[in-house]
Amino acid sequence: MNGPRILLTDGTSYKCSVIARYLKKHYRDIYISVIVNKRAARYFTSRYIDRTFYLKDPISSDAFISRLSSLMKDNEIDILIPINSGDMEPLLARRQDLGNVMDYWGNLESYHVLHDKQAFSSICNQLKIPAPKSYTLNMMQAIPESGVVFKPVSGSSARGVKYFTNRNRLLEYASKYNRPFIIQDYIEGTGGGISFFANSGKIESCYLHKRLAEWPISGGSSTMRTEMNHPQQDAIIQNARQIVKHVNWSGFCMLELKLQDNAYYFIEANPRIWGSVGQGLANGVNYFQKLLPDTGKCVGESTKVTYHVPLFFLSMLLYLFNKQLDKLALLKQIRYGVPDIDYTDTRALLGQFIK
């Protein structure tokens, strides 16, 4: 096989399945391998994956890096694509031990600036880009009673995120929290994002989406999305270009937004593969265009909606339980939407239950 050889981390992740399906359908002769960290997981990877490797060591360990380096040399891997947030820092920190398979990523310092919510907020303020106001515990009297969001400065998928409308309860919770955190105004609105691949501080391919459903429904990962239609879209793209140029970022990234009628706010950055990566891919945006050579097989696609199985259906149950009945109308959209994992990809669907 003369095509590119790709290695993805976390072979049972739905994001891994989305990417593998896209690459197989759009690139001729591509060979896709994945890593799993559980023996049983070897039997629950996508049908679009050619080979699965089991590496039991923690990804941040010397043993893992050593085995990974040998694996890639033995199998002539051209590109390593980390899937999850937890993969990024250890792999970027040891990229010199992995050859040139991660040369398309920005450096570790740029990653930290984007991944750290406090640092990202500071960048937005410096560049005069709309973002929620941030507070420290020394500013307790300035914190509004109308509502704030408490977040760990690093993390993803709404882990550790809490909402407060009472200063005393916020102070009590924050005083016991033993990791860095950020407190910000709670912004009402619809969640969304601008996702892209960047090269040396320049956005190459981008897509704007808005969220239709989330898990958890109080504000978490998107379980159904559609294309964004907002009057400030040009300004959003321009702001994203400013941020990417400022940190000189390279690689994949998604900037989360809150959208209002005629306003928008940049919330945080995910400098990695993001959960809704399939939305842009399904609507003709090839984030891999600069990373992989054109083999002549790439074709444009177009759909309005993508959704996560099974989390979308769990979202619907929780919306029903909370009497948000208007959300149930989203069930109609799965008729012409695209699931993140193909329904015929049985092993990958089952893999979502062995985390």
Q: Residues 81-126: pLDDT tens digits?
A: 999 999 999 999 999 999 999 999 999 999 999 999 999 999 999 9
Task: Judge whether residue 299 has pLDDT over 70.
Answer: no
What is the average per-residue pLDDT within 5-29? Answer: 94
User: Lowest mean pLDDT: which of 126-135, 155-164, 278-287?
Assistant: 155-164
Task: Judge whether residue 147 has pLDDT over 90.
Answer: no
Q: Residues 231-256: pLDDT tens digits?
A: 999 999 999 999 999 999 999 999 99
pLDDT value of position 67: 96
What is the average per-residue pLDDT within 181-206? Answer: 95
Query: How confident is the prediction for the chain on average, in pLDDT?
Result: 92
Task: Judge whether residue 293 has pLDDT over 90.
Answer: no
What is the average per-residue pLDDT within 143-159? Answer: 80
Task: Judge whether residue 351 has pLDDT over 80.
Answer: yes
pLDDT value of position 298: 53
Q: Give how far Cα 141 sits from Cα of 153, 167, 168, 171, 222, Å.
A: 22, 8, 11, 11, 34
pLDDT value of position 126: 97
pLDDT value of position 130: 98
Q: What percentage of residues in the chain have a pLDDT greater than 70?
A: 96
pLDDT value of position 137: 76
Q: How confident is the model at residue 176 (pLDDT cuts 50, 70, 90)?
A: confident
pLDDT value of position 57: 93
| CATH pick for 5-104 out of 3.30.2130.10, 3.40.50.20, 3.30.70.360, 3.40.30.110 | 3.40.50.20
Q: What is the pTM (predicted TM-score) of this model?
A: 0.93
